[in-house]
């Protein structure tokens, strides 16, 4: 600091003045340059602001012009719409006035017609009174001439008219029935032929096998075992009675349960193949046979449902259905018969426009009660209805299957279809075998029913029980009554007999006049 002071002390005053003037001039020049630059920047900003203001004003003017045009257009449209509304209102008012005038005119015309009708009604009443008076006078004169009262003449005319009408009516009925019968028979034949053509399954009568052939007589001793242990074990394990008698090289299995009989048959055959017959092996083979048969039953039920396209059925019900594989009816396998009935019912239902699935299920389950009828009391129809209800099957299916033996009334068209399909399947040639005793009983029942009617002289069942010919006494049965008699006998046969197919009822009335020339 002392050095600086010394420097300023030794400096020349003039130099100091020049330094001062130089500093003052430099500051003034900087100040002037700063003012110049600031003014120049201000001028440029001001010009930009002016250009932006001009542009904004131009845009505002354009938008105002566009808005004014839109407002003008909206005002023009509103004026046009108001004009249209006024014109429509004027037209509506004119139409309303016109309709009011027409309505007034119609009211006047109705009043006029009403007055005319009153006048005519009065004239009719007066004419009716005159006619009644004339009628009573005529009746009195007719009664005097004929010598009969009004009621007597009326009864005579009615009785004569009844006789004529009855004769004409029976002729007309016969003609209509002939035409209807021909038409229905042709239609029924076409549907049945079509159904059988679409499902033509080979039918083979089946027999329940209860005998097992043996290679030699020594095997009988093995089956019986020491002190009868083997045969007792077999009978206790299977629930089947095994009969070993003097029949050569054969043993017999006896049981009311076809499944038990089949299990026993399979177990015995496998034991004979194995050769080691002893109680432990017997029980082992019986268990294997039961498992095998149960698997076959389950598979048979599932296959039947799959084949027919039926779903949603409880597995337990499907198993019960499979049990029908081991049940026969007159030699016909009941499961195969049920599948065939389901197919036929479905085809007939599709031709008639009925519910195909209901008809199929009704046909498939119509005999399901036979799977348990040896275990549960009741007819197979009632057992089947109980089973289907238990496993929540559609009530329409129950209605369709319950009437196939006519134990219950036909409630739906599908019930009739199932009954027809069942009859077709059962009566097809080769489908079932019938015993001679049943055949003779059916013929005797047909003749007994026919002979029970008054006027029947004699009757003959012919054509293997498919036709009954009835001869009547001519003076007891007229031609008209013969027609009624045939229908009554047919109805009685339907009510009292169970038969496949149909039975033709023929009433024969003939008059023989015999004289002798001597």
Instruction: Tell me the average pLDDT across 284-292.
Output: 87
CA distance 242 to 255: 9
pLDDT over 80 at 232, yes or no: yes
Confidence of residue 10 (pLDDT cuts 50, 70, 90): very low
Residue-wise pLDDT tens digits, 15-26: 777 777 777 777
Select the more confidently predicted residue: 436 or 294.
294
Question: 251-262 as b/e, with b when 16 or more CB fall inside 10 Å?
Answer: bebebeebbbbb
- Compute φ and ψ for 459, nearest 5 degrees: -145, 150
CB 300 within 8 A of CB 335: yes
CA triple 375-380-382, angle to 5 deg: 105
pLDDT over 70 at 331, yes or no: no
CA distance 397 to 9: 137
Domain 436-508 homologous superfamily, CATH: K homology (KH) domain (3.30.300.20)
Ranking 85-89, 486-490, 501-505 by mean pLDDT, the lowest is: 501-505
Q: Residues 6 or more apart from 462 whose CB is under 8 A from it?
A: 468, 469
Q: Name the residue among 191, 137, 129 with its Cα closest to residue 420.
A: 191
Instruction: Tell me the average pLDDT across 175-194.
Output: 62
Residue-wise pLDDT tens digits, 424-434: 777 655 445 55
pLDDT over 60 at 278, yes or no: yes
pLDDT over 70 at 171, yes or no: no
Let me know how many helices (H) and strands (E) the chain has, helices first: 15, 8
By percentage, how much of the chain surpasses pLDDT 70? Answer: 80
pLDDT over 70 at 153, yes or no: no
Would you state the CATH architecture of domain 211-427? Orthogonal Bundle (1.10)
Residue 20 pLDDT:
75
Select the more confidently predicted residue: 272 or 207.
272
CA dihedral sign, ordered 303, 308, 314, 320: negative
CA distance 329 to 80: 91
CB 386 within 8 A of CB 357: no
Instruction: Tell me the average pLDDT across 168-184.
Output: 66
Confidence of residue 208 (pLDDT cuts 50, 70, 90): very low
Residue 189 pLDDT:
57
Q: Give me 187's structure tokens.
A: 């239609």
Most confident of 54-58, 139-143, 288-292: 288-292
Q: Name the residue among 295, 242, 243, 296 with its Cα closest to residue 264.
A: 242
Instruction: Give strand pairing partners of 467.
Output: 462, 504
Residue 80 pLDDT:
87
Q: Classify residue 305 by burial, with Cβ atoms within 10 Å: 0-12, 13-18, 19+.
A: buried
Look at the block and give the residue holding tokens 């005002």: 75
Residue 420 pLDDT:
84
Quote the mean pLDDT of the chain: 78
Residue 184 pLDDT:
64
CB 456 within 8 A of CB 474: no
CA distance 412 to 415: 5
Instruction: Tell me the average pLDDT across 490-508.
Output: 81
Residue 499 pLDDT:
67
Residue-wise pLDDT tens digits, 382-413: 888 998 899 888 889 988 888 888 788 888 88
CA distance 15 to 295: 134
Instruction: Give strand pairing partners of 460.
Output: 469
Instruction: Give strand pairing partners of 77.
Output: none
Alpha helices in 391-516 (DSSP H): 395-401, 413-427, 436-451, 479-496
Instruction: Tell me the average pLDDT across 496-501.
Output: 71
Ranking 113-127, 235-249, 471-485 by mean pLDDT, the lowest is: 235-249
Count the neighbouring beta carbons within 10 Å of the beta carbon of residue 298. 16
What's 358's DSSP letter? Answer: H
Q: Where are the domains of the chain?
A: 2-144, 148-190, 211-427, 436-508
Instruction: Tell me the average pLDDT across 474-485.
Output: 85
Residue-wise pLDDT tens digits, 350-372: 888 889 899 899 888 888 888 88
Residue 179 pLDDT:
63
CB 222 within 8 A of CB 271: no
pLDDT over 60 at 1, yes or no: no
CB 359 within 8 A of CB 348: yes
CA distance 246 to 248: 6
Confidence of residue 48 (pLDDT cuts 50, 70, 90): confident
Residue 200 pLDDT:
47
Residue 83 pLDDT:
85
| Model confidence, pTM | 0.47
Residue 246 pLDDT:
73
Residue 38 pLDDT:
73
CA distance 195 to 201: 11
Q: Classify residue 483 by burial, with Cβ atoms within 10 Å: 0-12, 13-18, 19+.
A: middle
Ranking 20-29, 315-324, 436-445, 472-481 by mean pLDDT, the lowest is: 436-445
């Amino acid at each position: 600091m002392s050095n600086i002071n010394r420097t300023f002390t030794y400096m020349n005053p003039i130099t100091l003045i020049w330094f001062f003037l130089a500093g003052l001039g430099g500051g003034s020049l900087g100040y002037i340059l700063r003012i110049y630059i600031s003014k120049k920047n201000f001028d440029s900003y001001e010009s930009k602001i002016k250009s932006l203001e001009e542009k904004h004003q131009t845009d505002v003017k354009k938008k105002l012009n566009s808005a004014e045009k839109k407002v003008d257009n909206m005002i023009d449209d509103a004026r046009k719409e108001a004009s249209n509304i006024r014109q429509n209102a004027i037209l509506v008012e004119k139409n309303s006035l016109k309709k009011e005038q027409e309505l007034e005119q119609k009211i006047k015309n109705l009043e006029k017609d009403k007055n005319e009708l009153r006048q005519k009604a009065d004239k009719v009443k007066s004419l009716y009174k005159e006619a009644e008076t004339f009628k009573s006078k005529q009746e009195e004169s007719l009664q005097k001439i004929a010598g009969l009262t009004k009621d007597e003449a009326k009864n005579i005319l009615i009785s004569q008219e009844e006789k004529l009408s009855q004769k004409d009516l029976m002729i007309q009925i016969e003609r209509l029935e002939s035409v209807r019968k021909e038409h229905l028979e042709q239609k029924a034949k076409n549907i049945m032929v079509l159904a059988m053509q679409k499902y033509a399954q080979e039918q083979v009568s089946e027999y329940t096998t209860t005998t097992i052939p043996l290679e030699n007589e020594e095997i009988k001793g093995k089956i019986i075992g020491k002190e009868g242990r083997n045969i007792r074990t077999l009978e206790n394990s299977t629930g089947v009675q095994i009969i070993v008698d003097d029949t050569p090289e054969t043993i017999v299995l006896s049981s009311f349960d076809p499944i038990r009989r089949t299990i026993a048959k399979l177990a015995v055959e496998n034991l004979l193949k194995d050769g080691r017959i002893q109680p432990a092996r017997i029980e082992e083979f019986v268990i294997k046979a039961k498992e095998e048969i149960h698997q076959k039953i389950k598979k048979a039920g599932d296959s039947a449902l799959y084949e027919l396209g039926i779903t949603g059925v409880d597995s337990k019900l499907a198993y019960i259905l499979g049990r029908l594989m081991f049940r026969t009816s007159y030699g016909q396998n009941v499961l195969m018969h049920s599948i065939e009935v389901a197919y036929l019912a479905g085809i007939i239902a599709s031709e008639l426009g009925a519910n195909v699935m209901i008809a199929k299920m009704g046909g498939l389950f119509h005999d399901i009660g036979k799977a348990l009828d040896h275990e549960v009391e009741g007819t197979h129809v009632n057992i089947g209805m109980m089973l289907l209800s238990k496993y929540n099957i559609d009530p329409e299916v129950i209605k369709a299957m319950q009437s196939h033996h006519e134990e219950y009334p036909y409630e739906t068209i599908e019930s009739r279809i199932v009954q027809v399909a069942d009859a077709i399947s059962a009566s097809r040639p080769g489908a079932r075998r019938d015993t001679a005793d049943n055949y003779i009983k059916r013929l005797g029942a047909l003749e007994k029913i026919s002979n029970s009617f008054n006027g029947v002289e004699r009757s003959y069942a012919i054509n293997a029980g498919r036709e009954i010919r009835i001869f009547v006494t001519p003076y007891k049965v007229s031609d008209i009554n013969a027609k009624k008699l045939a229908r009554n006998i047919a109805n009685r046969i339907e009510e009292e007999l169970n038969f496949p197919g149909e039975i033709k009822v023929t009433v024969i009335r003939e008059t023989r006049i015999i004289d002798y020339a001597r």
